[in-house]
Structures are given as C-alpha cells and as structure tokens.
C-alpha cells in the first residue's frame, strides 16, 4: 500500500473539547449503563486517550467533499431504496439457474430439489468480489452463507429428510458467475464459461502448517488433506494474484449428535455441542455426527482460496490464517512486499487477527504467488486503553504457547487459534466483523457489531475499544500501524464511530458518537469496504424492529462515510427483515454490487425481490447512477 500521509488524524489530536468525552462521562454517572468494575477504566480511558480527542474531527459533520449524494431517509418498505439520481436492479437471486438445462426456482417450494440447487445460485448471498476480465466480461464470486429453513421447506425444518439436507447443503457455499456488460449495464450470463457452484460437498485441499495434523484426520480422509465442502461462508477477500478468499464463520452450528459425546474444552470454545443449530445435517450425514467423526469439525473454520477463473480448480483451505469464526479476509501488500491479511473472529468477546506472509508478493509472476498464504506468522491484537495497541505473536514457543500449556505445535495453535489468543492476552472485542484497509493510507477499520454480554459476562469487562456495557449498537475501531507499516508490531487506534440512538438515548453513551445524528443513525455495523476514492461504505446487520432501542432506525441499511471528517450519510435502505451485506465495485467505480440477505427471515412479511406472493429470496443488486457517474461522488 501507499504513502502514509494522515497519521496526524490520530497522533495530533485537535484541541477542541471532545463531545464524546462529555457524553461518555455523563453516561458513566448513570450506573445502569456500565458495570461497576468497568466504569473506572472507561472513565480513565475517555479522559486520557487520544482516541476521544480525535473524534473532535467529526464535530462538523457536513459538507464532506467526498460524499456527493443526497441521503435517503430510514425505511420500513419491502424494497431497496437508493438516492435520487441512482438506480437499482436485480442481478441474481437464490435459486436462479446458472445453466440453461437447470430448472428455475419454484415458488411452490416443495418442487425445488438438491439436484437443481447444485447448479442454481446459492442462498443467503454475503461477501463478494468482482474480477474483471475485459471491458465486457467479468467474474463475480459470491458467498452463499446459509439457508432459512422457514422459507426453504414447507415444514419449516421441522421434518427434515435426507433429501432436504442435501438440498440445504447444495444451497451453501459459493456461486461463481460470469457477467457481461450489456447496453443497460452489467448482467448475469447464464451458461457463462466461469459459472460454477461450490457447495458443502465440493472436495477441497487442506494446505499450510496444519495440513495432515492428527486433529484433521478422519475415517474418510485418514491423511487429513482433503476436506469435503465449505459452508457458512460469511465475508470474503481477494488477492492481487486473482483469487477469491471465502471465510467460514459459524461452522459449529452444523455439527451435533444424538449419542453421548465427550467434547473437549476446545470444542466448547468454538461452540461445538451435541445440539446443533437446527440444521439437522448430523442426522442424515454421518460426518456431521460428532460421535461418529469427532475431527470433522476441525476441518471447518478456515479461510478458503478459490481461483474464480478456472471452474475446475480445487479450492484450498489455508490453515496458516488460523481457525475461528472468520468474517472477512482483508489483504494488503505491505511496503516490503509481504502479504498482510487482517481477520476478524465474529463472536462476543473474540479477537482480531493479522497474518504476515514469510515470502513477498511477486507482481511479475502471478503463479509464484499461489501459495503465499501457506507460510507466515499469525498475530492477535491487544488494544490498550491508552490508544496504543500491539500484535501478539501466535508462534509456537512464544508468549506461553508451549507444550506445558497445551500447545504442542504450530499446527495445533492454528487449529485452536482462539485458545492461543487467550493464552497470549488478546483483547476481547465486541464481535469483530469486517476489516477494511484504506486504499491510499495505512489506516485500517474494523466493525465491532454489538455485544450484549459486554460488561455482563466474566472476562468481558468494558475496555477502551469496547467502551459500552450491554452494547446493542456497535462501533467501528480503526488503527494506524507504526510508521505506516502493516507489518509493524504495534499501532495507534481510536474509535471512528460509536453507533447509537440519539432520539432514544440522548445524553448517554448509547446516543452514539458525535458523528451520529437522528438523520443517519443505524445499529450493528457489519460489512465495510472502501472504494478507490477512499469513501468508507458501511452495511448494517442489526435489529430492524424499529422499536425501543431501535426506534427510528428502520430496516437494515448501507451508509457511506468520509474517514477524514467522520461524516456518515445513509445511501441505501433494504427490504423487510433483510440484512445488507456484501459489496463490490467495478474498477471504473461506476457500478456497485450490493447484497440483500435473508429478506423475510423468520416469516416476516416480505416478497422481495419479485413482489406479488412470491417467496422472498436473497439477491445481489446492481446499483448505477442514472448519469453514469462514479458511485458516491
Ligand atoms: Fe456472517 Fe459475522 O456475519
Ligand atoms: Ca457479517
Ligand atoms: Ca453480523
Ligand atoms: Ca448474515
């Protein structure tokens, strides 16, 4: 990445009295907001740290030169709403056939089959990346995170059969689709040469330091080298050598057993339990039965690398990036040429990680980069309350990661990355979701979506970067690595925004930071990404009840922020009971792909996107400007 120009944003705080400090101190006097022990450290933090002072820069939240569109109001409508001068169209939806010899999705849902779904667009699209080929052709790789049984099955998941499980497994994974540029814009190309489905049964290679480890060996794969499938693929990343990274998140939910099982403490830390989350895979597919195959669960929770240009290429699970509930994988080439990948682990009280490759990226020989993600060092973040932070090494033999403490090898550290992170003293965070690196400055942002357990649960007391107990709104933390080097051992951080509801909680920390107003409020930031101009796009996956703590916030939404001024403006609102997740721009920045996930979940009344009495279906939307201009400008 490029030059380090704006460290002063963090290191030379403005002299104004920071409004946030006042707000938080007022809030702290109200015992109901913060747990007892936590309050002192939070006061000390907000009074002393450069973090709160840097937020003074957000106190003039209007007129950003970066934000050129007119904000949209909150909405509870069952459609996607974009600003004046913009247009939004449907690109592809759950069940759309990728090939012309495959059945269309049927609104008579009992007609839909596993065989068709294996060659149809998957369900619950999430993170995605656009891979250009030429001006007229491109590939879009899209995660299909999970399925909503209440919308997929007439019995709503209550009477699962083997065929139903196969259908659900086929709806998971990744869809790779060919796009062509037509007169009205970028469109999905049925039968396109890159079209491909990867699902919960697609063979993939296990690579890196944990390949072949005893904990990854199963009866079907005694060498621990070939796993079947990927699922709960949440967010994503892309590499400069032209591959797609897909991140396995809540993999634990798919395992279970009706037999008596003796589960290890590591399983408990990963949420793997005899009771699954209701998917019922273990009842019909033995490898998901913990009693039958205890190691199968260790083969999930990884980042998987996929070549979107070769439909026959076998995906690769890159174990060097650690095993946890991965959100996305934000990759940046450091100034010295090494590859840095920032990774969030989305669970209450889990951590933020960083991988640094051993070898350097070679821009002149893409083939030479293919295994860069197999060798390198993994770190986990500590956020000190004084605004400093450091990357703690997860290398075997360091920081107590020794056999005496239960870590016998690097492979075992990677498989049990969460346990290793605790051993080295990582900071517990409010559910780390996406990480995004600024395109022109060494500045990194991570969404911390919310955490109802903060200040309530043992081990999750309030801390500087996670300053609010019972945090229902979330925040975005950002950091600048020392000397602007993504490979540096430490960093300075602040909070870019504390989401909140100033209409309901005025004068308390739950109103949010100074850049949150009744005009732009939202809860639970999740997907984030930068465009080339340095606008930060923020997507929400929060409470859409529009009531109580969330009154006036409407459906989930997408916003756009100016990282310099802190201004945040609402760009889009989603349909009923949906989450907005997944974003990717074309290189000319004139087309934006946005994901609408699980409209109508939990049987909320939605018929998005086709209307009438159709089944609501997750969809990828294409957004352009009527005048053909750059999005957001
Ligand atoms: Fe799949 Fe953390 O969101
Ligand atoms: Ca997410
Ligand atoms: Ca989320
Ligand atoms: Ca989701």
pLDDT tens for 304-356 read: 999 999 999 999 999 999 999 999 999 999 999 999 999 999 999 999 999 99
**More confident call, 32 vs 188:** 188
Q: What is the pLDDT of residues 386-412, one digit of tens each?
A: 999 999 999 999 999 999 999 999 999
Q: What is the pLDDT of residues 471-493, one digit of tens each?
A: 999 999 999 999 999 999 999 99
Backbone angles phi, psi at 84, to 5 degrees: -50, 135
Cα-to-centroid distance, 145 and ligand 3 (Å): 12
Cα-to-centroid distance, 346 and ligand 1 (Å): 6
86-93 and 137-144 strand pairing: unpaired
Neighbours of ion ligand 2 (CB under 5 A): 526
How far, in Å, CA of 610 to CA of 199, rounded?
26
Percent share of the chain, pLDDT over 70: 90
Q: Is 601 in the pocket of ligand 1 (CB under 6 A)?
A: no
* Ligand 1 nearest atom to the CA of residue 325, by list position: 2
Q: Is 327 in the pocket of ligand 1 (CB under 6 A)?
A: yes
Cα-to-centroid distance, 127 and ligand 1 (Å): 10
Question: In whole angstroms, how far apart are CA 83 and each of 15, 72, 79, 257, 352?
Answer: 36, 6, 13, 49, 34
Whether pLDDT at 63 is above 80: no
Q: Is 596 in the pocket of ligand 1 (CB under 6 A)?
A: no
Q: Which two tokens stand for residue 436?
A: 């995004």
Percent share of the chain, pLDDT over 90: 89
How far, in Å, CA of 487 to CA of 508, rounded?
38
Average pLDDT for residues 426-445, to the nearest whole number?
98
Q: Is 346 in the pocket of ligand 1 (CB under 6 A)?
A: yes
How do the domains of the chain map onto residue ranges? Answer: 6-625
Q: Atom 1 of ligand 1 has which residue's CA nearest to it?
A: 234
The CATH architecture to which 6-625 belongs is 6 Propeller (2.120)
Answer for the pair 175, 199: CB distance below 8 angstroms, yes or no.
no
Q: Which of 4-13, 383-392, 503-512, 525-534 has the lowest mean pLDDT?
A: 4-13
Cα-to-centroid distance, 91 and ligand 3 (Å): 23
Cα-to-centroid distance, 582 and ligand 4 (Å): 10
Q: What is the pLDDT of residues 554-610, one digit of tens each?
A: 999 999 999 999 999 999 999 999 999 999 999 999 999 999 999 999 999 999 999
Average pLDDT for residues 424-437, to the nearest whole number?
98
CB contact set of 119 (below 8 Å; sequence gap of 6+): 97, 98, 99, 102, 197
* Ligand 1 nearest atom to the CA of residue 232, by list position: 1
Q: Which two tokens stand for residue 131?
A: 């891979």
In this prediction the pTM is 0.92
Q: Is 579 in the pocket of ligand 1 (CB under 6 A)?
A: no
How far, in Å, CA of 318 to CA of 314, rounded?
13
Q: Is 350 in the pocket of ligand 1 (CB under 6 A)?
A: no
């Amino acid at each position: 990445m490029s030059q380090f120009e704006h460290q002063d944003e963090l290191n030379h705080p403005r002299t104004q009295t920071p409004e946030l400090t006042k707000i938080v101190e007022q809030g702290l006097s109200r015992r109901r907001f913060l747990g007892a022990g936590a309050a002192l450290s939070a006061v000390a933090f907000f009074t002393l740290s450069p973090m709160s002072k840097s937020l003074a820069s957000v106190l003039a939240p209007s007129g950003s030169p970066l934000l050129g569109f007119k904000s949209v109001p909150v909405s509870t409508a069952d459609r996607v709403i974009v600003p004046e001068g913009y247009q939004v169209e449907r690109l592809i939806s759950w069940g759309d056939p990728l090939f012309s010899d495959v059945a269309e999705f049927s609104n008579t849902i009992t007609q839909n089959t596993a065989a068709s779904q294996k060659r149809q667009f998957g369900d619950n699209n999430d993170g995605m990346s656009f891979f250009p080929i030429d001006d007229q052709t491109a590939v879009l790789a899209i995660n299909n995170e999970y399925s909503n049984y209440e919308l997929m099955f007439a019995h709503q998941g209550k009477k699962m059969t083997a065929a139903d499980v196969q259908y659900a497994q086929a709806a998971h994974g990744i869809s790779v689709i060919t796009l062509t540029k037509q007169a009205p814009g970028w469109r999905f190309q049925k039968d396109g040469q890159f079209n491909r489905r990867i699902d919960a049964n697609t063979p993939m290679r296990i690579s890196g330091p944990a390949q072949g480890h005893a904990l990854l060996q199963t009866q079907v794969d005694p060498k621990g080298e070939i796993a079947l499938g990927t699922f709960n693929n949440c967010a994503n990343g892309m590499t400069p050598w032209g591959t797609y990274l897909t991140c396995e998140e809540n993999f634990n939910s798919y395992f279970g057993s009706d037999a008596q099982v003796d589960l290890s403490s590591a399983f408990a830390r990963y949420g793997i339990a005899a009771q699954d989350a209701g998917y019922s895979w273990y009842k019909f597919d033995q490898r998901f039965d913990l009693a039958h195959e205890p190691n199968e669960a260790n083969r999930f929770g990884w980042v998987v690398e996929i070549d979107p240009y070769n439909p026959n290429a076998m995906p690769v699970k890159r174990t060097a990036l650690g095993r946890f509930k991965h959100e996305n994988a934000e990759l940046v080439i450091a100034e010295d040429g090494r590859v840095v990948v920032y990774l969030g682990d989305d669970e209450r009280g889990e951590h933020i990680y960083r991988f640094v490759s051993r070898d350097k990226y070679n821009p002149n020989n893409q083939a030479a980069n293919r295994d860069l993600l197999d060798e390198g060092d993994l770190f986990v973040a500590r956020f000190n309350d004084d605004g400093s932070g450091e990357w703690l090494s997860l290398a075997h033999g360091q920081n107590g990661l020794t056999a005496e403490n239960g870590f016998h090898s690097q492979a075992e550290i990677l498989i049990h990355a969460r346990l290793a992170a605790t051993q080295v003293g990582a900071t517990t965070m409010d559910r780390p979701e996406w990480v995004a690196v600024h395109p022109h400055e060494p500045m990194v942002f991570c969404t911390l979506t919310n955490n109802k357990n903060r200040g309530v649960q043992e081990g999750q007391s309030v801390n500087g970067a996670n300053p609010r107990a019972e945090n229902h709104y979330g925040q975005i933390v950002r950091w600048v690595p020392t000397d602007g080097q993504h490979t540096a051992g430490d960093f300075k951080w602040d909070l870019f925004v504390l989401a909140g509801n100033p209409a309901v909680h005025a004068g308390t920390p739950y109103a949010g930071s100074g850049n949150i107003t009744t005009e732009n409020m939202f809860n639970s930031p999740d997907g984030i990404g930068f465009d080339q101009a340095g606008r930060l796009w923020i997507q929400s996956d929060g409470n859409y009840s529009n009531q109580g703590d969330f009154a006036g916030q409407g459906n989930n939404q997408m916003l756009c922020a100016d990282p310099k001024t802190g201004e945040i403006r609402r760009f889009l609102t989603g349909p009923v009971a949906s989450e907005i997740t997944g974003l990717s721009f074309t290189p000319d920045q004139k087309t934006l792909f946005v994901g609408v996930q699980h409209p109508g979940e939990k049987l909320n009344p939605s018929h998005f996107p086709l209307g009438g009495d159709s089944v609501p279906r997750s969809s990828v939307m294409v957004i352009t400007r009527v005048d053909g201009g750059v999005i957001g400008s």
